[in-house]
Amino acid sequence: MADLSTTIAGVKLPNLLFNASGVCCQTKEDLQKMVDSESGSLITKSATFERREGNPSPRYVPLSNGSINSMGLPNEGYAYYLDYAKNYDYQSNKPLFVSLSGLSLEDNVKMIEAFKAANLPCVLEINYSCPNVPGKPQLGYDFEGMDHSLSVLAPLIEGPFGIKLPPYFDIAHFDIAASIFNKYDNLAFVTCVNSVGNGLAIDIDTEQVMIKPKDGFGGLGGFMILNTALANVNAFYRRLKNKQVIGVGGVTSGKEAFLHVLAGASAVQIGTTLREEGPGVFARIKKELSDIMIAKGYKSLDDFRGKVKTL
């Protein structure tokens, strides 16, 4: 095997692959499946202050080239994940990331204060990009609001942390977002991208939308968003100073994981393919990525990270 290890926010991962928050991570039983898998790490479902049922079903549907979802942040409430993180065996297990998605700045502050008081070695990823909570626009698209949130949360967290971003589609937006992120030294990584928000899948036979919430509008994931994800990874890899990028979007095999690293990713999360294939996906994609690296003569991720060639 090639060396697939990586370091995120100062924490060493035995390999670069783990779950995208939202898949295989809502309950302790789900998280145990991640622990037992060959992933290099695991991340919890984005927590809100209170437990949430989420949106009505059907709220996730696989499509021929990916998926659509409008889960609406179903989760057990932050106290559940704090308890999980407190009881996690950091010595013998892979590193743990915890995703927080407060419905207000005040909720994020309260959750972060609780995690800080517990003084745990888990890494926080703040989710600025859930497209599926009716009446709550994605903070990642509100540059002033996101800057204000970071100005409160970054000093509060003190240590290295990350943020989960929505996809951006305009060079000016990459520039503005990066100029905000570069102001915060302890913002250690950005995770690009969350689902492409508010797509619409329609069944031609029934002439009906395919998911129930929001009249069928939901976040697109899987292979169909690969190129948007790669663009966001590379745009932030080029613009961010002393920060890392975690790539997510469109990974179905070792080939797409390789492309994410080539674009600049230091780790790669898997969402739709994990949901469809189960945790065995990590062993398969590790092997496929290693085979590609060996065939190309690369021994470690550093040998090709961010080295995509331009014409």
Q: Which residues are catalytic?
A: 130
In contact, 35 and 113? CB cutoff 8 Å? no
In contact, 99 and 42? CB cutoff 8 Å? no
Q: Please select the residue that binds ligand SIN; options are 9, 11, 22, 246, rule is CB under 6 A.
A: 22
Q: Report the nearest approach of ligand SIN to the CB of residue 127 (Å).
A: 5
Binders of ligand SIN among residues 63 to 92 (CB under 6 A) are 71-73
Whose Cβ is closer to ligand SIN: residue 131's or residue 160's? 131
Whole-angstrom distance, CA of residue 14 vs CA of residue 39: 8
Bridge partners, residue 124, by sequence: 98
Q: Please select the residue that binds ligand SIN; options are 37, 39, 44, 46, rule is CB under 6 A.
A: 46
Whose Cβ is closer to ligand SIN: residue 4's or residue 24's? 24
From the CB of residue 29, how many other CB atoms can be counted at a distance below 10 Å?
A: 8
How many residues bind to ligand SIN according to rule CB under 6 A? 13
Is 130 a binder of ligand SIN (CB under 6 A)? yes
Whose Cβ is closer to ligand SIN: residue 223's or residue 258's? 223
Quote the tokens at residue 33. Answer: 């499946």
Residues contacting residue 205 through CB under 8 Å, at least 6 positions apart: none
Q: Report the nearest approach of ligand SIN to the CB of residue 72 (Å).
A: 5
DSSP string, 250-266: ---SHHHHHHHHHHTEE
Q: Exposed/middle/buried for 98, CB within 10 Å: 0-12, 13-18, 19+?
A: buried
Is 19 a binder of ligand SIN (CB under 6 A)? no
Q: Report the nearest approach of ligand SIN to the CB of residue 77 (Å).
A: 14
Binding site for ligand SIN (CB under 6 A): 22, 46, 71-73, 127, 129-132, 194-195, 219
